[in-house]
Amino acid sequence: MTIDKLSINLATVREQWDLREAVEACVRHGIKAVDPWRDQVTKLGLAESVRVIKGADVHVSGYCRGGMFTSPGAIDDNRRAIDEAAALGAECLVLVCGGLAPSSRDLGEARKRIADGLAAVLPHARANHVPLAIEPLHPMYAGDRSCVNTLAQALDLAEALGEGTGVAIDTYHVWWDSALEAQIARAGRLSKIFAYHICDWLVPTRDLLLDRGMMGDGVIDFPRIRRWIEAAGYRGFTEVEIFSKFDWWMRPGDEVLRTCIERYKATLR
Ligand code: ZN
């Protein structure tokens, strides 16, 4: 069983390794793609990060992350993120769109600011050939991280904005959605699946942000969702993205990568 389409989101090993060490480790394990985070790139410097990634000859399945359109300075910050994604040769810039503005209770206003922000940065993204992947986040994050909470909502935005915008589908955020199968099929018809992220939903979840599970340790039916994604025509990378302060961040990085490979293979069955 091949791992040619496996990517590792580098947040998965961020406590163990810096960007250079993480990329070297992925190569050592035969992994062909990575998704770095901006803070990891900033720490090493953009030019050096580009050298490390090109030197290792790994694909960059995405770049995390842009968005946060309800925060001050978002437009300039997203333009910089687009420039970095272009330099890294990233297949898309992943967008976490932003929660309610500080001291606001107006969800409608937040969603309008997100749509306006996306429209404002889209020309720069198109000019630099960086697709924008809107990632719907689980509704528990509507207050602070994203008011785009379902795949349907993300696709509505991408459909209205047009070329250069699509979605990042992350099992952690969408597994519970009764419309998931239909919306994945819709995303396929629109050719708007730009990224597919996997990690499991643990029961109980002990931390809203940093207790994501390794595939197989929680309740998500990965083979089923994978069939929907494949039926929708997606042939890109499957990216393992696990923030795990109680478990995987405390283990040796090589053990984490070995487990990611094993469990990824199990999702293909
Ligand atoms: Zn994700």
Q: What is the pLDDT of residues 19-60, one digit of tens each?
A: 999 999 999 999 999 999 999 999 999 999 999 999 999 999
Distance 201 CA to ligand 1 centre (A): 13
Would you say 184 and 199 are in contact if contact means Cβ atoms under 8 Å apart? no
Whether the predicted model's global pTM rises above the 0.95 cut: yes
Strand order in the sheet with 165-170: 59-60, 33-35, 6-9, 238-240, 193-198, 165-170, 132-134, 93-96, 63-67
Which tens digit of pLDDT belongs to each residue from 109-118? Answer: 999 999 999 9
Look at residue 13 and give its three-state secondary structure. Answer: helix
Q: Is the pLDDT reported for residue 1 higher than 90?
A: no
User: Which amino acid does the sequence have at 107?
Assistant: L
How many angstroms separate the alpha carbon of residue 211 from the centre of ligand 1? 14
Looking at residue 269, what is its pLDDT? 82
Q: Please give the share of the chain, as a percent, with pLDDT higher than 70.
A: 100
Show the domains of the chain with their CATH numbers. Answer: 6-267 (3.20.20.150)
Q: How far apart are the first and last CA of the chain?
A: 10
170 Cα to the center of ligand 1, angstroms: 5
Tell me which residue has tokens 């795990």: 244
Taking the C-alpha atoms of residue 250 and residue 39, their distance in angstroms, rounded to an integer, is 20
